[in-house]
Chains A and B, each alone.
Chain A
Amino acid sequence: MERTSSDLVYEYVLDQIKTSELTADDKIQSENALSEALNVSRLSVRQALDKLEALGMITKVKGSGTYINNPKDIENLDAISHVVQMSNDDIASILEFRKYFESGNVKQFILNGSDSDRERLKEVVELMRQTSDKRDYGELDYQFHKIIAEGSKNNIVIRIQQILMTLLKEQQILLSELIGNAVGNEFHDVIYRAIDEKDMELASLLMVRHIEAALRSFKGLNERKDNGYSE
């Protein structure tokens, strides 16, 4: 694809963000200044800024200018997650990725998690033990993994977790409904215990096994479906 003048502006601003020349809350050059500096039309500048705005990188403030967003204000693109067509392969790839991702998260949780993170995790594990409602269980399962990611205190981890879970949330709840509490409970309990004992190696290995078990159940479900068994 040929590069248009608006691509030029887009990459120019993006590079300034990548090199941290522009950071959160900074005001960027005016449309006029950009159009002069890059020798392109105002229309091209506007198109590029619209694109950056759509991607959540900048905000135009009427009568004031255009600013770089603060990452904490970027909303997840929830509206879009509803129109994403997830194939079984997509779900399997996400689970495959989560195997090592979450095993790293649990280590970072042990290192960096606060008392209140551990407290929250404990509560969720206890609620999981008590609930017999499958939908509730699925929601708690989702919370369990979210708290671990948040306790890592690593923004990159938290963001990736958020986005993947937005994509996976419905499937995750469905999966944990289908697989049932038995598999989940067993793992969540022992993972929590290993975290409580600050045993990083054990906690991360159990996490790998937990996601592997989920992946196997997921693949098993699909095979059964493919073989024509109805649910």
Chain B
Amino acid sequence: MDTVKQPSEKVYDYVIEKIKSSEWKQGMKTASENELCAELEVSRVAVRQALEKLVALGLLVKRRGSGTYVNKVEAKTYLNSLMPILLLEGKDIFSVLEFRKFFEYGNIRMFIDNYNEELYDQLVEQYEIMKASVGEPDKFYTADYRFHSIIAEGTLNPIVIKINEILMDLLLKHQEILHHEIGPNVGLDYHERLLKAIADRDKELSSLLMLRHIEAAIGNLSDTLDS
């Protein structure tokens, strides 16, 4: 690493400091590109690069024709930084599934804690789509993932929802291997039993079934990859 700060890092650190010290508060307009150039004695390119980075991270927001503003940085925004890391780590599909085992186990329990008729109906709907589209992997898996996402959304927990969003995106991209190796039966069988247990609000049974569901998927996948 360079010990000398790049001009754009200088701008980046400067802005972070302003926000940290609350000198620039949420909703306030930041200094203009010109002002930052002059203040820090760096080029416009450097300023623009730093601002671009801060916008990407969700700390600043640009409004066309108006300027750049300080964004509210909530925990949710910060969780966006999970996205690149999980994408790059997620190559190893087994660690994703292994994580999902306990993740989904907890989700279904929270779902039942916050049980909601409307969401239950949506689960049934997705299950019906799955049943009707066994021969169409794209449709089948979209419904399969929707099923799990509805459960995640029903937890009402923003952390769960965010992590689920990233994982599902990742799994969808691996859909072909997963479909080929796991097959549709695991999904259909377990989803049907899950629906019954959820309708009974049986937390213990639902969460155990969910655990078995993901374990069965892992089992099928490692069987075919071994042979």
Contacts and interface: CB of A to CB of B under 8 A. Distances in A.
B95 A100 contact: no
Contacts of A81: 78
A201 B157 CA distance: 25
B99 A157 contact: yes
A96 interface: yes
A221 B81 CA distance: 30
Interface residues of B, number: 54
A93 B158 contact: yes
A20 B88 CA distance: 9
B53 A94 contact: no
A71 B74 contact: no
A159 B85 contact: yes
Given A55-B84, A100-B105, A154-B95, A93 B157 contact: yes
A196 to B, nearest CB: 21
Given A80-B57, A156-B95, 4 more contacts: A18-B170, A19-B173, A54-B52, A80-B81
A57 B88 contact: yes
Interface residues of A, number: 54
Interface of A: 14-15, 17-20, 23-24, 47, 50-51, 53-57, 68-71, 74, 76-77, 79-87, 90, 93-94, 96-97, 99-101, 103-105, 107-108, 154-157, 159-160, 163-164, 167
Contact of A163 (B81, B160, B173): B81
Nearest to A94: B159
Interface of B: 13, 16, 19-20, 26, 49, 52-57, 59, 72-75, 77-92, 95-96, 98-99, 101-103, 105-107, 109-110, 157-160, 163, 169-170, 173-174
A28 to B, nearest CB: 13
Given A104-B105, A167-B75, A55 B96 contact: no
Contact of B103 (A20, A47, A101): A101
Nearest to B16: A79
A87 B73 CA distance: 11
Contacts of B54: 54
B82 A163 contact: yes
A100 B103 contact: yes
B78 A103 contact: no
B159 A159 contact: no
Contacts of B57: 54-55, 77, 80
A160 B98 CA distance: 14
B89 A84 contact: no
30 contacts: A15-B173, A17-B88, A18-B169, A19-B174, A24-B88, A50-B49, A53-B53, A55-B80, A55-B83, A55-B84, A56-B85, A71-B88, A77-B81, A80-B57, A80-B59, A80-B81, A84-B73, A84-B74, A84-B77, A87-B74, A96-B110, A96-B159, A100-B109, A103-B106, A104-B103, A154-B99, A156-B99, A157-B95, A163-B78, A163-B85
Contact of B89 (A71, A79, A164): A71
Contacts of A93: 75, 157-159
Contacts of A107: 102
Contacts of A87: 74-75
A14 B172 CA distance: 13
B173 A18 contact: yes
A87 to B, nearest CB: 8
Nearest to B101: A104
B87 A74 contact: no
A47 B56 CA distance: 10
Which of B20, B54, B110, B173 has the largest number of chain A CB atoms within 10 A?
B173
Contact of B87 (A17, A94, A103, A160): A17
B78 A160 contact: no
Contacts of B103: 100-101, 104
B77 to A, nearest CB: 7
A100 B104 CA distance: 9
B156 to A, nearest CB: 9
